[in-house]
Every structure is written in structure tokens, then in C-alpha cells.
Amino acid sequence: MPPFQPIRFGKYLLLEKLATGGMAQLYRAKIVGVQGFEKFVALKQILPHLAEEKEFLGSFIDEAKLAALLQHQNIVQIYDFGNVEGTYFITMEYLFGKDLRMIAEKARERNLSFSLEHSLHIISRVCSGLDYAHKLKDFHGSPMSIIHRDISPQNIIITYEGDVKIVDFGIAKARSQSTITQVGLIKGKVAYMSPEQAAGINIDHRSDIFPCGILLYELLSGKRVFTGETLHILEKVRRAEFSPPEEVVKGLPSKVYQILHRALAKEPGDRYQSCGEMLADLEECLFELSMRPTARGLAQYMKDLFKEEISSEEEVRRLGAAVSTIDEGKPEKEEKPVEKSREVPSGRAGEGAPGSKKNAFARYLLLGAAVGLAVVLALVFWPRGAPVPAPLKEAKTSPAEPAVSQPAKEEAKTPSAEDQAKSLENEAVQLIESNPEKAQALLLEALKLNPASVYGHFQLGLARLKMKEYPKASESFSKASELDPLFPDALFNLGYLFARDRNYARAEEMYARVVKLSPSYLDEALFNLAVVQGKLGKKAESLANLEKSLAVNPNNEPAKKLFEKMQKK
């Protein structure tokens, strides 16, 4: 490939393309201003062919608006958001450093493990940044209820100056966001999820505390908390099943074990109730152990660990500083006003292409964009004239199949069959609504490459539902539920299809299994269970489940009406 030539982009000079993902591309750039003013930034552009896609654009705008509100020393800073000749972009601080995953790999290579002092300090800074985000209020003083949802090694950067930064709020969720998240949604890296997030149920800020415990455990032990194949990891995470820290890393102070156990409690109510609480315990522990960690000490550790890399990156920085102007005499591209965000639905997240090896910052941003921007919304309604006394709730759409973070590659390789399959799946989910036949063809091709993909079988079921090929849709959902028996959305849709065929006994079985899994749409599952039980003549069971549905959600109008109707009878 020829060397990258600097490009003028509004008031920015794009110096180097760092990475390209499925939804965006990232550049190392600098602001070129008057009187020789210059500043290095990272600039992320939405890919040109997605600029007209309302769903992707809406998510990109949501990310920019949310991230711009976060002003904390332990959170990456957003500088600008705009549109230059139809290309939307975000600029943020350019971090010279490495993410925790790369640091851990390098530490193993050089046998320079994290000290207890550094480990406690790093997680205390992460807790500080998260506590700020969780408690952030909007301009009207209302809590924004921000949840990061993807606290993992790739999203914690340590700079060569010893600063700890949380990055990638691309899939974070705030109450005020314009996009709508569907029930059962799983976003983030599966090995760093909380049990409730892995189960696809409602989460709150305490979900971010569990991965903080995972990171501390892994920094101290040098070992992964959850290992294995994706589906096996998902099961372990749901059950919070891992080796006790006392067995994995011996000889730690009792206070450290107490912090780990409380942060890694399966039930949110047993965990720290805020990151501020965990931060207070970490700081108290450091004080009791007479430790005084500093950014300078962490910076020295980073400089010892990445001596060669720092030298080469400094050279890149000097080369960038030498580039001042290009295309002299040509006018700059005119910047257009920022488009207001629109009400657009967002759904299941797809997986993005891997980033460049040039900088950890590039990888985490593009992965976050890919995870946060893919959109699917498949709604299937009960047909008119059905014999069931009230309409069943909509068929469920699925979460993207989460990816287990893999070690960074040192060179580009031919995509694996699994990677090719995921690419086809991501392309297919965007076509289910508009062209389900094409989506089906892509998903069948993907399943030839990766027959064990729960996500692929589920999405194939949705495409077939859209095409009204109900027996084939049932086959696809059955396969998805065989591969993952704890996947409530597949079971819910099977219940729908059995009920549609008036096989109420099987429908009852499916809905009962969904209820046991207690998903975030539990009231809907209880309502549908009550409907089919009523059809089977099980009036007492039906009434009991309607009562449970209303106890979970008193505003479930179909359940309320059916309950009143059955009581009158």
C-alpha cells in the first residue's frame, strides 16, 4: 500500500488512518489553527455509505452527545462533533498509551507483573470515573442514569504519563437517549459482563461494578476469571461461577479479598451499591497498607514495559508535527451545521471488523462503534382471527452473539470461517425488514461456515417469520434453543409459533421455560403463558399467572383486560 497522504478535513488535518471497522474509520489527526496553533486528536468518521442510514446515524449522534457530557480526568475527553460535506465525525483526545489487555500481555512476556499497589490504584481510578458517569445529571438537574455496559481490558487505557482513562461509551445507555434498546439485549464482551447483563435482563449502574471486580481479580492473579467457548462463558457468567480469589492468588490482605467478593457478588443487592462505595474501600485499603500510589510511579512502570514502543511512537509524533499544511491555496471544506438527533429505533448490536495494530486507542473505538451501531428490529404480531382470547405479545428479537476478547494480533491474517460467518450475519440482520429473502440466503451461507452460531440460527428464524415460513422459522428457533437452552428469546418465539398452530401444550411448555429464566419482559411471558393455559382449560393457573404478570408490571394493559374478563366469568 502507498503511504498515507495527509488530507484536509475541515479544520483538521488527517495524518494517518489508524483503523477501519464495520461502521466507522479512525484517524490520527491534528487541529490546524491560526498563529501556528496545533493539537493532536483522534478523529472518528462514520463510513460514507452509512451516512444516509437513519439508524446508524442516530446511534452515532447519541454516542457523541452522551460522550460530550462526560468531563472527568479518568474518562477520555470528547472535543468536537460535526458534519463536513455530509461526513459526520467525532474528535477526542489522542491517548499515547496502551490498554490493559496489551499491558497484561507485555507484562507476561517480560515477567513484570502488576504490583498490588498499581492494581488497587488502577481500579480505584476506574471506579472514580464510573461513579461520576453514573451520577451525572443533565442540564435540567435530572439523573441521566448512564451505564457503561462494556468495562473490559480493551476499554481501560493507561497513558505513558500514568493516567488511567475509561474509553468507549459507544454502547453506554442513558435514560435520555433517543434510540430505543429492546428487551433481551446483550451488549459488551461476554467474559466481562455482570450476571444480569449476560442473562439479558434489566440492568442498572451496579452492573458496571461486577466487571470492575473482574479486572481487579485478573490484575492481581494474571489469570482470566471466565474462560472457555463463548456459550460456556455465558453460562458461567450468568451463574457467577468462578474460582475463589483465595485459591487463585494466595497471600493477599484480607481486605482485598473482601473487596473482590463484594464486587463479584452474583446478586446486585449483595454488591457494592455504587462505584463510590467500592472506591472508598479501595482507598481505605491502600491507606491501611501504607501504600501511596502515584501517576508518576505508574508512568515509570509503563515506560519500563514499553520502552521500544514509546520510542517509535515519539518518532511518529515528530513526523506528524512536521506536517503543517497541504494543498496550499485550496479553500477548506465548509462545515455544515450539526443535524439534530431523530427518534430512530436501535436494536441488536453487530460485531465490527478488527482494528489496526497501530494503537490500542484505534481498536477500542472501532470495536465500540461496531458493537453500538448495528440495528435490527423484527416485530411479529398475532394474526387477526386467532382463537386465543387476547393477542400474544410480539416475537422477540435477539442480542448480537457476544464476542470473547482475543489477544491482539501482530499481523493481518486471512479471516477465519467464524469471522466470515459473523460478517455475513451482520449484513443479513440489516436486511431482515426490507429484504428477508436476501437475509435468509446470507444467513444460510453464514451457518455453513459456523453451524454452531446461536445468533445465526435465531436471526434466520426472524427472517423466516418475516417471510411467513412458520415451520422453517420454528426449526431455526429450535436449533438456537438447543445450542443455548438459557436463551429466553428463542423459547419465547417458539411459544408464539406453537400457539399460532394451536399446539397450546407445547406453547405452554415454552412460555413456562421463559418464565423460569425471568427475562426483562417477564410480564409478557407470564401473560402469554396465561393465554395458552386459558385455552387449555387451566383457568386457575391462567388467573394466577395473570396476577403475577400484573405484579411485575401493573401497566400491562392486555393482562389487565384479560384478568378482568376472566374474573367476571
Distance CA 21, CA 256 (A): 39
Distances (CA, A) of 382 to 498, 520, 542: 12, 21, 19
Contact predicate 252/220, CB 8 Å: yes
Provide CB contacts within 8 A for 138, sequence distance 6+: 69, 144, 176
Would you tell me how many other CB atoms lie within 10 Å of the CB of residue 467? 15
Active site residue 150: yes
> Please, what's the b/e burial string for 534-565 (b: 16 or more CB within 10 A of its CB; e: otherwise)?
bbeebeebbbebbebbbebbeebebbbebbee
Amino acid at 358: K
3-state SS record for 277-291: HHHHHHHHHHHHCCC
Category of 380 on φ-ψ map: left (φ > 0), alpha (ψ -120 to 50) or beta? beta
* Alpha-helical runs (H) found in 307-433: 307-322, 360-373, 417-429
Q: In the chain, what is the straight-line distance between the N-terminal and C-terminal CA atoms, in Å? A: 76
Pick the catalytic residue from 131, 150, 168, 489: 150
Distance CA 285, CA 389 (A): 60
> Hey, what long-range contacts does 339-342 have (CB within 8 A, 24 or more apart)?
339/57, 339/61, 339/83, 339/88, 341/58, 341/61, 341/62, 341/65, 341/178, 342/54, 342/58, 342/178
Distance CA 294, CA 291 (A): 10
Q: Which residues are catalytic?
A: 150
